Chains A and B, each alone.
Chain A
Amino acid sequence: KREKHNGKRRNGDRQENKRENQRRKRSSKSVQGIREESQSKTERRERSRRRKGKAEHETSGHEGNKRERDQTRAKSTKSKKNIKNEKTRKLEGKEDGEAQEKSEKGKLKLVCTKNEEKIESGDQLKEKEKALGVKKKKKRRKKVVETSSEPETSEDGDDEEEVNNDGEVRPELLSPEELEKLKEAVDEKKKLIQSLRGKPWPMKQKLVTLRESQLFVEKYEGALGKGKGRKLYAYKVMMTKKWMKFQRDFENFKTACIPWEMKIKEIESHFGSSVASYFIFLRWMYGINMILFSLTFGLVMVPEALMGRPYGSIPRKTVPRAEEAGAMDFAVLWDFGGYAQYSVLFYGYYNNQRAIGWFKFRMPLSYFLVGVGTVAYSYMVVIRTMARNANESGIGDDNSFNFSWKMFTSWDYLIGNPETADNKFASITTSFKEAILEEQESRKDDNIHLTRFLRVLANFLVLCCLAGSGYLIYFVVRRSQKFALDGLENHTWWERNEVNMVMSLLGMFCPMLFDVISTLENYHPRVALQWQLGRIFALFLGNLYTFIIALMDAINLKRKEEKVVKYNITMWEATLYNGTGSENSTAPPITIHPADVPRGPCWETMVGQEFVRLIISDTMTTYITLLIGDFLRAVLVRFLNHCWCWDLEAGFPSYSEFDVSGNVLGLIFNQGMIWMGAFYAPCLPALNLLRLHVSMYLQCWAVMCCNVPQERVFKASGSNNFYMAMLLVILFLSTLPAIYTIVTIPPSFDCGPFSGKNRMFDVIQETLESDFPAWFSKVFSYASNPGLVLPFILLMVLAIYYLQSTSKSYKEANVELKKKLQMQNEENKKKNKQAALKAQMDLEEAKKSASQTAEHQRNNNDSVQRQEGENAKIYMTR
């Protein structure tokens, strides 16, 4: 579309130039007189053509802006000059009514333009047009009195002249009838432009026609108005052009504003859309985390930091005496103990004060609502995106025209790198080969058992692997519990971090093994990717749930400990007060430093800490794998290749490929952990945001610098929704434990915003009772009455059922329609074939009959001859 506009603009320019030329000509006319003009007409025509060409070159070189300015200037000067010209002409006074002449010319012009149209449609009409041109010339000669013979005027010249004459048509001097005609002509031209695409003409002719009619329309559309309208028109044209330019710039600006768009496009051009889909997914994830982060940061962390009690005011906000020594260690950075633990970053720091600050910010309520809100928002976004994607991807993917699909849709048009294009080319050819082989095999139907067996075997191996890794994690978790009972201090760093290490290592290496095993199965890479994703999903899920089960055990341990501590504290307080009471009753109340107050083990903070540690170790493993597995390998391969006995780049270690499935799943599970842990550690979204930001740049860099395009590049058109579906499952699975802990386990008694309550969601009850008017809580209690809730849920279920069944029926109807279409197509084909066959038969018959008649004649002749010959023979024998 944009190009079209450009073309238009250029046309406009050309037209301007023509006008200018003509103006020059006219001025020369007035000076030199007409006699000379007619004699040197042809010559000048040529010159003008040359000049025009030059001008075109010049203008095309100019910037658009300048062009526009020139144009406007030209227009304004032109109108002035026209008037001047007229005056000079009238002064010359050679002819009688010049206006009449002009109107005549205008009429002629109309006819001519109509003819022009027709020239294009048929060669025969050309002659007619020529004749018209001659006629016109004759008339003109009559008028101009001067009669100079001018037999050699080429058609081109004629056209040129017509164009030159265009400018002389002065619409303000036309009669209404002619105006009407002009209008009609313009309308016709417009129609022509619209219907041009469907015309069965050669391209060149189409282009020429298009350009000419556009010129015509542009020229006369505005001219239809009166003198004032012209100016307005010029202004309008200028403004539309400026507006167009602005729109284009704005469009560019918009793409520049999309974060990382250019980077992703570059990667897409080098690695195909499957790799790019990962980065688009990453960006989408970043957006979601941005919102989660702004929610937790703006509504929980900042208010607590600004308006809540300061650090050190109450026990839960101070580092206990025992930990003070190591509270500023360097290890705090990745262990998140010490000062980091006793800060807004974790659940335990928050106070259960109902309202904080000067405008009574309801902290516990806000904490709870943000926790629920982030999850609800995530659900909403994921489901909405899924629905949108489902609409898009619901059309294709049927196997009925396998080869046609392959033929016409297998190229990835976003590839802009020769190497990738080579790979794509190779992969398309191999896919064709494979498809042909498959087709043959499906006809032979013998090898299917082997592939089935191999697939079953592969799945069995994968299951074994999964079971093994699950058992290993279980074993490690049990051991770590033993260590925890012994006390962590007397174990090495390796043993303390065993669980995280083993989980990360298994998560890293098992997918490789799956990948190797999946070569047995011989699936299409897109299907293989989905299987791979499913397997890694199972692995990660197993790992995650073992981790959660271990965490649950730890929570139970902590709660037992808490009970003991609670008892001890009451005893401690009693002894404290009793002691002081007995000693001196008038003494001021004892002030104990909050760091010395005994406190319970805050299980919520422990959970949050575990998640934060897991995220950090996960991130570290990802980055280290990236650096070692990709970067170091690439460096080694690149620089050792000069002094190695085989080709490292093409052969054995080679460069690594980008692992789409592993990375996508890493991202998804990372997000799952964020959702799970964000309630107990409000800093998690912030950390995740940081991680995603860094990994965006790091991975973009790593992909471009040390990976090679996949050998089988394939389109990732259908995989986006697969990612989304997995994300939804993970979201559900990660909210389950979080909801379970919130609903079933009572919060710790001395830390967090819900301390002292029986359950965390009691906050809502409390708020309803104290902050809202009585009628509201009454309404709420009525509304939450099971008698009302149950019918409502029933209604919802019914609605869902209804919607689902309607969508199903729609889908069925779609399938039916598709079938019908196909049938119709086939029928049409058959009909056509039959018609063709019939025509062929007829033709053959006709031919045959013709040849038969010919043969008949010949036969006759032959027989005559033969007879004669026979006769002769007979005669001879006789």
Chain B
Amino acid sequence: MVSPAIALAFLPLLLTLIIRYRYYFVLFYRAVLVRIWKDCVTGLSREERAFQYVLTNSTPGDPDSILDAFDYWCSKVEFISNIGPKKGKILDRLLMEQSPLTVLELGAHCGYSTVRIARALPLGARLYSIEMDQGNAAIAEKIIRLAGFDDDTVELIVNPSDEVIPRLRSDYNLERLDFVFMDHWKKCYLPDLQLLEGYGLLGKGSMIVADNVLFPGAPKFLRYLRKCGLYEWKIHRATLEYSRGIRDGMAELIYQGIK
């Protein structure tokens, strides 16, 4: 029988773990436990709940108010891994600097980042947004229309990214992508990037921005970047969206082509 004194000696360890990893515990609580609980209580999916909130608390046709409503809901009520306001500012800045004409977004989720990108686009630019999940895509569509972007500006494609990318050139008459934003499955970052390279959709100077490369993290993607030498790249260090202590980063790549 282990004596109570020995068990007590483990108390500092427990305290250390709790204090050191408190943000992760909070995140776990908000992203998993609360979600399961609400799913059971309301019978709606998380995205639908978010949509309901946004619908009631924002001005239609005003992207800013929609984004604000989203930010409030995600930081105060529940957790959805959108790009968030802080990293969103970096994204806005990059878009302003680049002012791309054809933009591809991988992983629209519920439309937050789509609205954010579409808001910052120059006149006459076109955004292709790919979303795999049917339900999420429906909500994203509603949000995009709510924000006042029509079919000419934003085109939502409901399909897995690895199926869409090979057909982009033939079906959508795309020659070159100026800007690619990746925020879908972290494991797909690398294969999708290689697909883009393989189908020649990247030209010299096209920019690719990948969110969440540190947490949850895309180690293979980063390793590939280090090795391949096709890109000029850097990581914008920030914290995870709607959370203070977890460090995360957004990778900014500029395609240089083969020298």
Contacts and interface: CB of A to CB of B under 8 A. Distances in A.
Given A494-B2, A652-B24, A641 B10 contact: no
A639 to B, nearest CB: 13
A513 B15 CA distance: 7
Nearest to A517: B19
Interface residues of B, number: 24
Interface string A469-509: 10010011001000000000000101100100110011001
Interface in B1-35: 1-3, 5-6, 8-13, 15-16, 19-21, 24
Contact of B6 (A465, A502, A652): A502
B24 A465 contact: no
B214 A465 contact: no
B198 interface: no
A634 to B, nearest CB: 15
B53 interface: no
B219 interface: yes
Given A512-B12, A513-B16, A652-B21, A498 B215 contact: no
Contacts of A465: 12
B229 interface: no
B216 A509 contact: no
Interface in B210-251: 214-219
B249 to A, nearest CB: 9
A498 B12 contact: no
Nearest to B14: A509
A651 B12 contact: no
A788 interface: no
Contacts of B24: 652
B9 A494 contact: no
Interface string A644-661: 011101111000000000
A510 interface: yes
A257 interface: no
A501 B16 contact: no
Interface of A is mostly: helix
A54 B8 CA distance: 79
A237 to B, nearest CB: 51
Given A492-B1, A652-B24, A498 B6 contact: yes
B233 to A, nearest CB: 14
A647 B1 contact: no
A476 B3 CA distance: 10
A516 interface: yes
Nearest to A511: B12
Given A506-B12, A512-B16, A516-B20, A650 B219 contact: yes
Nearest to B246: A651
Nearest to B23: A652
A475 B7 CA distance: 13
Given A513-B16, A649-B219, A472 B8 contact: yes
Contacts of B218: 647
Contact of B12 (A475, A476, A509): A509
Contacts of A651: 214-217
A494 B12 contact: no
A827 to B, nearest CB: 45
A510 B12 contact: yes
Contacts of B215: 646-647, 650-652
A509 B219 CA distance: 31
Contacts of A472: 5, 8-9
Contacts of A502: 5-6, 9
A710 to B, nearest CB: 16
Given A647-B214, A647-B216, A494 B1 contact: yes
Interface string A510-550: 10110111000000000000000000000000000000000
26 contacts: A465-B12, A469-B12, A472-B8, A475-B5, A476-B5, A479-B5, A495-B3, A502-B6, A505-B9, A506-B9, A509-B10, A509-B12, A509-B13, A509-B16, A510-B12, A512-B12, A512-B16, A513-B19, A515-B16, A516-B16, A641-B219, A647-B214, A647-B218, A650-B214, A650-B217, A651-B216
Interface of A: 465, 469, 472, 475-476, 479, 492, 494-495, 498, 501-502, 505-506, 509-510, 512-513, 515-517, 641, 645-647, 649-652
